[in-house]
Amino acid sequence: MIASLLRRLAGDAVAAAPLAPADARLALAALLVRVARADGRYAPAEIAGIDAVLARRHGLADAAVGRLRAEAEAVEAAAPDTVRFTRVLKEAVPHEERAGLIEALWEVALADGRRDAEEDAKLRLVASLLGITDRDSGLARQRVEARLGR
């Protein structure tokens, strides 16, 4: 699965090939890892946030979440840019559901209790690449902050 996603991310896959649900799941997981690592720290709270998002969004048990995150960490480290992940997600997720992706990303970015300029910049880039406006991303952040009690 990792090799397949890396080929797709590199543009080597046939354009008309259908996107497997697992590819989108792995792309989101890798994007969550990328956002968590954006500030140079990969805090335990962020890892727990990634695990919580993956379990909730995909109905995965702890062991499956751990395997998916481990794959995502490898894919994220190997991928040269963020566009590759958002391209996969744009193919798989309808526009009206992408605000949920941004909320998940904000949940991870805010999991360590602080907002960092690097994470803000990464979220701004990702939102734009997913076709989400700054305003809608800001509203998604506010919803997450309200859920987290901040």
pTM, 2 dp: 0.85
Report the distance separating Cα 125 and Cα 128, nearest Å: 5
CATH of the domain at 139: 1.10.3680.10
Number of domains forming the structure of the chain: 1
What's the whole-number mean pLDDT along residues 7-17? 46
pLDDT in tens, 119-150: 999 999 999 999 999 999 999 999 999 998 87
Q: Which of 19-23, 94-98, 146-150 has the lowest mean pLDDT?
A: 19-23
Start-to-end Cα distance in the chain: 38
- 35-83 pLDDT, tens digit per residue, is 999 999 999 999 999 999 999 999 999 999 999 999 999 999 998 889 9
Q: Dump the DSSP string for 107-134.
A: HHHTTTS---HHHHHHHHHHHHHTT--H
* Structural domain boundaries, residue 81: 2-13+20-148
Q: Using an 8 Å Cβ cutoff, are 82 and 126 in contact?
A: yes
